[in-house]
Structure formats: C-alpha cells, structure tokens
Structure 1
Amino acid sequence: MTITGTTGRQVPGPSGLPLLGSMFDLKKDSLGTYLSAYREHGDVVRITAGPPGLRFELYAVFSAEGAQRVLATDSANFRKDNAFYQEVRESFGNGLLTAQDADYTRQRRLVQPLFTRRRVDGYADAITAETAVITAGWHAAPGGTVDVVDEMTRLTLRAVTRILFGGADVDEAVDVVERCFPVIGDYTLTRGYSPANVPRSWPTPFNRRAAAAMDELYGVCDAIIARRRAMGEEAKGNDLLTLLSQAESAEDGSLGASEIRDQVLVFLLAGHETTATSLAFSLHLLARHREVQARARDEAADVLKGRIPTAADLDSLPYITRVLKEAMRLYPAGPVIGRRSVEAMEIDGHVIPAGADVIISPWVTHRHSRYWDDPERFDPERFTPEREKERPRYAWFPFGGGPRACIGQHFSMLESVLALAMILQEFELDAVDLSVPVDTGITLRATGPARVVLRPTA
C-alpha cells in the first residue's frame, strides 16, 4: 500500500487486512510490527489500522538521520499534540514530559538548575543506601532466586521517592505509587491507543477506578507539598521537592503548588520506571553472559575494593557503563516516541504530510543494520569511545534528544552504574529465564519474569 506526497517518493507500508489494516498486528506485537515494517519497507513507512470511519494512519521514521530531524533539527515541526500525549497529560499533569511552548520553556528554565551534574551527584548516597537495603534482602530470597524486574522497580521507586521527598515521607508515597501507578498507567495506555473514548467524566467502572487512583495519588502529593510549604524555613533541605519549591527567577517567577505536583508526578513516573527497565535488563543480560559479567565484576572489584561507590567513581567504571548502554540499546525504556507534524516535510526522500501522526522508534533504530552489526547480539564493546564516534548521533537515543531530551539522563546513568557495581560486588547471577517478553506501555515493560539465581561472592 502506498501514497504519493507532493514531492519525494511514494511512502510504502504493509497492506494488512482489507478492512482493518495492521490493527491486529499492532495490538498483538507493536514493536515486532514496527521492526518488520522497517525490514520489509525501509526507513519511512506508512501504517494504517482500524475499521473504516475509525481508521488512523501512522508514519514511522526509522533512520538515525530521520530521528535527528524529528527530535532536533526540525523539532518545531513535530509536536506532542497526539492523542497519546493528551491522555498522559490528563493523567499525570502538565509537567516537563507533556508541557509545550511557553509552559515547557518556563518549566525547563526553572527545573534545569536542579539537574546539573554537581546537584545530581549529591543524590548518590540515597541511591547506594536504597541499593544496600534491596541487596540485603536478597540473602534470604527463597532458593536464592529473585525477579530482577520486580526488584529493580522497587529499588528505583524507593530511590526516586527518597530523593524527591526526603526520608520522612518515603513510605507513605511509595505505598500509594505502587498501588495507583499501574491502574493509572493501564488506563492512560488504553485510552491513548483507542480510536474513540467516552469522556472521562462518565461514571463507567473503568473511569471510576482510574479516577479513584488519581485522586489518591494527587492527594498524597498535595499533602506532602502542603506540609513542606507550611514548614517554611524549617523545610530547607536537599530533597528535590524543597528545591522545586524554592526554584524561581525574575523572568519566570516560581512554580505554584499544582505545577510542583505535576513535576513530582512526572519525576515519579519517568524517574523510576525507565531506570528500573535499564537496570533489570542489564542484570538479565549479565546473568546470561557470564564472561561479560565476570569482566564487569572485576572492574567493580578493582575500582571499589569492597567499599560503597560514590558519584566520583562513575568515570572509573567504563565497562559497567558500556554494559548498561548496550542493555539500553536492546531494551530502550522509551521504545517508541510519538509526535504530530505541523507542516508537510520530506524526510529520507519521503513526504510526511501536515497533521500526520509520526513515530520514531529507538527499538527499531537500535537494531538498524546500517549502524549495528548483528544487532540482536549483546556486545558492550559497541560502546567504546572509538566505536561511538563512528556512528551517527541518533543511532542510539534512549533518552530522546534535541530540545526535549530527558532532563534526568545523568541521574539515570548515575543510579544504574552505582547500583550495578554494588550488586556485582556482592553477587554472581545465573539466568533462570533466558528470554523475557516485552510490550510497550507508557514505557517498555516486561510481560514475563526475569528471574536470576544469586550466589554471594566470596
């Protein structure tokens, strides 16, 4: 199936079923569908899905050069105006993830100083303390077996909550997030990918369950923010909530209570789910590749000599960093990134029409044969400095890119490398599950266990 733009070549794509297009393929395995579309049709693909009257078109751009156009060079032409981001905005607020235009620019200017490398490095103690709590419990794991997906989700949630709220409010917030986030996430995802939705205000069981979860989540955040503001000068500290409350400038003013809550919700969402994915699949891959695991453990032992790592150790752990980057190549936490075009634009010789829903996909680009030899093979040596320089900038982009690149990139890398170094010092890992099925939600999610057997090191 093809269409013709005003210039450029015809845009190819899968034909799918006569009446439903690729609807069932996308529902069954969207990531596999995108990967097959690239392999069969090239770097720009048009995918149609849905019955007549509710059919939608999706333009997928898979090359590194195309991703750079969408995210960076021509980012003003590709906005977060699609239905999916609108649902995320309504569920998790108008924070940095979803805000646009003047709102986004103002928020970014106010929040950016809180994510400098020096500021983020100050959170290393909280990261290592929570990692120590998690690994201490592993010594009593039944059969010495844990599911690293569950364990890394617990670790990153506790770490980001501690960094956001400080010690006093961690347990209260973690309990609510663990209970409410899955409900809100599934609700948002279902509505974001549905061709038609009833209004959120209608009292359907689905709407009411999600509304109750949002009320509880918003309520605990608002209560913590109100308590912190009521303390005034007594609330001074290094937790992120205090710093958000104090952020101000002559040009942008300060963040109001609802704006602070929106940022907190985004940080809770992006700050634990994405890093948990990177950590879990790093451990899964290390457990399957014992030689790589041994080399990474040797590096941790040589650098740390049994002590707790600090932020100053990050640059001294290059091999563990390469392991992490390769895991993020194979299992990017944000496997698909959506935008909507403003004006028609030619990319890779094909026209993307005005008003089109557009995706770029780290999942696919990270497997693109032009940039990666034997792309399904796990090989941390792909990320030596020399080999990284040989590839286009957007051959690897797990943190997005351009003016909307993830503000927490250094935080995620710091947390992941320090946690991996601590775990490798303490345990050897053997894989129970040799493959882990995945699906795409708001972030990449495992749909099956990733169990490993733990053996304490000598």
Structure 2
Amino acid sequence: MSVETAASNAARRVGTPQLEGVPLLGSLFDLTSDSLGTYLRARHKHGDVVRISAGPPGLRAELHCVFSAEGAQRVLATESANFRKDNPFYQEIRDSFGNGLLTSQDEDYLRQRRLVQPLFTRRRVDGYAAAVAAETAQTLESWQEATDAVVDVSVEMMHLALRAVARILFGTDVDATVDVVDRCFPVITEYVLRRGYSPANIPRSWPTPANRRAAAALDELYGVCDRIIAGRRAAAGEGASVDAGSGARTDRDGEDLLTLLAAAQSADDGSFDAAELRDQVLIFLLAGHETTATSLAFSLHLLARHPELQTRAREEISRVLGDRTPEAADLERLPYLTRVLKESMRLYPAAPVIGRQAVAAAEIDGHAIPAGATVILAPWVTHRHPDYWPDPERFDPDRFTPEAEAARPRYAWFPFGGGPRACIGQHFSMLESVIALAMTLRAYEFEAVDTEIPVSAGITLRATGPARCRIRPLRATP
C-alpha cells in the first residue's frame, strides 16, 4: 500500500474532516489560485485539523492542516523531532538557495547553528543599528523626489530591507550585490514556487526556457557571492577568529557579517568552507530582507489607513527620540511602536504557511496524523483564529500589551516559527523594523491611496498589487 493511500485511510478512520474539492483534482485549483483563502475556509468550515486533497490520482497530495495554537506548538516545539523539512517545497529552496540554516537538517543544521549563533547574540545584533539607520536615512531622502508625493511602500521597503541586510553582510560591497539580487531573486523565487507546488517536475538539467533562465540567474548570483567570499576568506586569516564554542568577542566586531562568518570556527565544528559560506549568505539574503520588508510595508500601510493610531505612534517616537538617530536601546523605549509591528505581523505574517512531514504517526487535537503525512501550519489562519483574536480582522496594536500577550497561548502568534528551529534573526528583524519605522514616521505622514492590498503565499508573503501611500514631509529627512 502506498504512503498516500495509507495516509488517506488512516485519516478517514478517525474522521478527520476533508475540505470539499472537485472530482479528480480535489482542491488543486483552490490552492493554486488562493491558498491563503482556502486554508481560512477550511478552518471555518471544519475546525482546527482538516485534510485537503490536491492533484490527480497517482500524483495527489494529502495535506493535513493544523490551525490551533496547541497544534502548532506540538509540531514546532514539543514534538519537533517528528516533523521534518522533508517536503518537495523545501527541497526546491535547498536546490536553489543552498543548504543553509533555513533548509538544512540534522547534524548539518546543528553544526551550522552552533557556528552562526555567536554572530546573532543580542549584543552583536545591536551593533547593526547604525547601518540600518544609515540605509533608512538614504531611503527617506530619496522620497523628496517622489512623483506626486506618492510611494509604493511595498516596493520601497523591499529596497530598504535589501540594502540594509546587504550592507550588514557585505559592507562596502553592498551596491554590487543589491543590483544582482534585485535582478536575479525574482527569477529564482518564481522558479522555486512553480516547481515547489507542481505535482511533477522535469529535471533541472533539461534545457527548457524556464530552466535556462533560472540557471543563468543562479550563475550570476553565485558568481558575485563567490567573488566576495573569496576576498573575505583571504582576509579571515589576518585577524582573530570568532570562537563559536565560547562566543568570545574578537577584534572583528566592527567588520561585516560575511567576514565574521568566514572567521567563525570551533574545535568541534571546524569552520565553513566556501560553498557553505555561500549557502549561508544566500539564505540570509532571502530570509533577511523579504521578511522584514513585509513587516515594514504592512505596518506603514495599516497606519496609513488608521490615522489616529499613526498619530499615537508618532507621538511616542517624538517623545522618546526627539531629533536624534534611534539606537538599539530604543527598542525597549518604544513599546507602542513595537506593538504596531507585532499586530502587523499578526495580520500579515511574512511566513504565512509552514510545511513539515511527519516521520512517525502522531495525534494532534484528537486527530491521527499518519507517518509520512505532509503537515501544514498556517500562521495566516492561526493569527485570525477567533478563539485567540476577537474581531480578528481589526487592526489593534493593543492586542500586544504584556497583559494581553500573557493571556494567550504561546503559539497563537508565531511569525518567526518556534521551537528549536525558531528564526535565528528575529531580534535583528525587530531591531531593523523598529528603527526604520521610527525614522520613517518621524519624517513623513502617510495616507493610504490603495485601501486594500491583495496578497499571495510565495516563499514569503507577497503583495500582488500596489501598496501606494501619499506622503507629506513633517521634517527635514536625516
């Protein structure tokens, strides 16, 4: 009996509800046209564990969707060893962006995490604040030339976040890498998405137009990374290294992250070779700019639609910062602005869907999950679950007061994942977002031109339409 048939039979035995689909193809068209809406509809109609079938017989995917906070905690944390990143989607990301922290598993992941962890301590990440502030100031200055005083915050925040993470990774090589990433990433991510969601794929080596376009983009992206890495590896032997065992600080604290990665080593784990360095760089570029850009863009757009909350945030910024450039310590001094970001990440989580594969049979919320089953978590749905979020579509930053957070289940909100594979860069993302948002709101007032932004689930959440805001300068930009 096939794994697919066994999974289907086991789900039927325990009565796991199934979302209705069409004959032969199930919910394939619904998932490909609007996966986020399909998951919302599944929870609304059938509850917290729902089975969705998609694809023709013989190639059909059986998705076991888990929408409760308790279920998410079991998959990501308490039983995380049983739920692996073994699905085809992660394999496609791995094949394009490498075997870095996002995609690696088992001993590869543990070794990488041990080597990288000392570079993402709170103290070291706080040292990146000046670079974020500098890139934000440059973006704000460019808006002085905005046509009709209108900017698309989705486009602008993507550019800002990319420049910030590239500056932190590459230092003085930022301009060359930003141009290549801007040109190549869209080609590669579309290719990954198309293959990741397809029931069957032809080999990447076949010379089809799509394969050739993707290969050319990967060659260009790999080339620029490899050239910069070669220079850093040559320089890495000229100074003290970063001890990944003790986390001891060295004389490299002022250098870019790639130089620190090239120098990272420990007695047990060795160091990264050139290919491993490239894998880490590509994953940091992918995860480090798209996620933060999403949070920033939707925070600005939501505040543009709620002027009274925008005013409240700006009053806090003015009271705390005055005219000075924000610093890392200001993250704790801007609680309302932080709540704005958290509420934006609730409504628009940068990772709206998380996939895993069950190694062994499990039970979640009273439903059997067969061994080999594809398990889907959807922050997009859990973040709108009425059991945790009254009036869930309403934008209300005060949902994230300390008292309100303490009253909810831990995994009612999980934009950074959770458990042993929680995002290593979550403090960096919050630091960058608070600094950039504070400087932006201090300099400009925002009014929404597009009142709704259509979105879809890619590797990260994507705006599929414009997110334009009319801006009015409030003070000279830094």
TM range (shorter): over 0.9
Note if 1:119 corresponds to 2:136: no
Amino acid at match of 1:5: A
Paired residue for 1:30, among 23, 35, 38? Answer: 35
Counterpart-to-counterpart distance in 2, 1:439 and 1:370: 24
Distance across 2 between alignment mates of 1:233 and 1:444: 40
Partner of residue 155, structure 1: 160
Equivalent residue, structure 2, for 1:142: 147
TM-score (norm: length of structure 2): 0.94
Which of 429, 445, 450 does residue 446 from structure 2 map onto? 429
Find the residue that maps to 1:358 and give its secondary structure. Answer: strand
Q: Which amino acid aligns with 1:181?
A: F
Give yes or no for contact 2:71–2:365 (8 Å, CA) kept in 1: yes
**Structure 1 position 173, deviation (Å):** 0.4
Aligned to 2:345: 328
What runs of 5+ residues in structure 2 fail to find an aligned partner? 1-6, 240-251
Q: Name 1:128's counterpart in structure 2.
A: 133
Q: State the distance in 1 between where 2:324 and 2:472 align.
A: 19
Tell me whether 1:180 sits opposite 2:197 in the alignment. Answer: no
Residues 151 and 468 in structure 2, CA contact (< 8 A), matched pair in contact too: yes
Which residue is 2:77 aligned to? Answer: 72
CA displacement 1:344-373 (0-9 Å, x = unmatched)? 101000001000111101000000011000
Aligned to 1:217: 221
Alignment partners' CA distance in 2, 1:8 and 1:51: 22
Partner of 1:364: 381
In structure 2, relative to structure 1, the CA distance for the partners of 1:382 and 1:6 (3 Å cut) is closer
C-alpha contact (below 8 Å) 1:7/1:350 kept by paired residues = no
Amino acid at match of 1:217: L
5+ residue gaps, structure 1: none
Q: Which moved more, 1:105-114 or 1:49-58?
A: 49-58
Q: What's 2:354 paired with?
A: 337
Note if contact 1:8-1:349 (Cα within 8 Å) is conserved in structure 2.
Answer: no
Q: Is the 8 A contact 2:261 2:272 kept in 1?
A: yes
Cα deviation code 1:163-220 (max 9, x no counterpart)? 00112x1110000000000000000110001000000011111101000100110110
Shift of 1:5: 3.2
Asked if 1:281 corresponds to 2:285, the answer is no
Letter in 1 for 2:364: I
**Cα pair 1:274 1:334 within 8 Å, conserved:** yes
Contact conserved, 1:4 with 1:11, CA < 8 A, in 2?
A: no
Per the TM alignment, residue 230 of structure 1 is displaced from its structure 2 partner at its CA by: 2.4
Q: Per-residue deviation at 1:233? A: 5.1
Cα distance in 2 between the residues matched to 1:420 and 1:312: 15
Which string of whole-angstrom CA distances, capped at 9 and with x for unpartnered residues, describes residues 239-292 of structure 1?
100110111111111111110110000000000000000000000000000010
* Aligned residue in 1 for 2:210: 206
Structure 1 residue aligned with 2:328, among 303, 308, 311?
311
Q: Deviations over 1:28-86 (max 9, x none)?
A: 10000000000000000000011122211111000000000000000000000000000
Q: What amino acid is the match of 2:231?
A: R
Aligned-partner Cα distance in 1 for 2:440–2:448? 15
User: In the alignment, residue 377 of structure 1 is paired with which amino acid?
Assistant: R
Partner of 1:248: 265
Q: Distance in 2 between matches of 1:210 and 1:272?
A: 21
Determine helix, strand or coil for the equivalent of 2:326: coil
Q: 1:231 to 1:3 in 2, by over 3 A?
A: closer
CA contact (8 A) 2:157 2:297 kept: yes
SS state of the match for residue 339, structure 1? strand
**Contact (CA 8 Å) 1:8, 1:346: kept in 2 or not?**
no
- CA RMSD between the two structures: 1.3
Aligned amino acid, residue 165 of structure 2? V
Q: Does 1:354 align with 2:337?
A: no
| Length, aligned pairs only | 456
Overall identity of the aligned pairs, in %: 72
> Would the aligned equivalents of 1:5 and 1:350 in 2 still touch at CA under 8 Å?
no
Q: Any idea what SS the aligned residue of 2:462 has?
A: strand
Alpha-carbon contact 1:341-1:353 (below 8 Å) kept: yes
Partner-residue secondary structure (3-state), 2:145: coil
- SS of the residue aligned with 1:95? coil
Q: Could you tell me how far 1:18 is from its partner in structure 2? A: 1.3
Q: 1:402 to 1:320 in 2, by over 3 A?
A: same
In structure 1, distance between residues paired with 2:297 and 2:55: 34
Q: Distance in 2 between matches of 1:104 and 1:445?
A: 27
Q: CA deviation at 1:3?
A: 5.7
Residue identity in the other structure for 2:285: L
Amino acid corresponding to residue 368 of structure 2 in structure 1: V
Separation in structure 2 between the aligned mates of residue 62 and residue 212 of structure 1, nearest angstrom: 39
SS across alignment from 2:10: coil
Q: Give the direction of change, closer, same or farther, for the CA distance of 1:4–1:230 in structure 2 (3 Å limit).
A: closer
CA distance in 1 between counterparts of 2:104 and 2:196 reads: 17
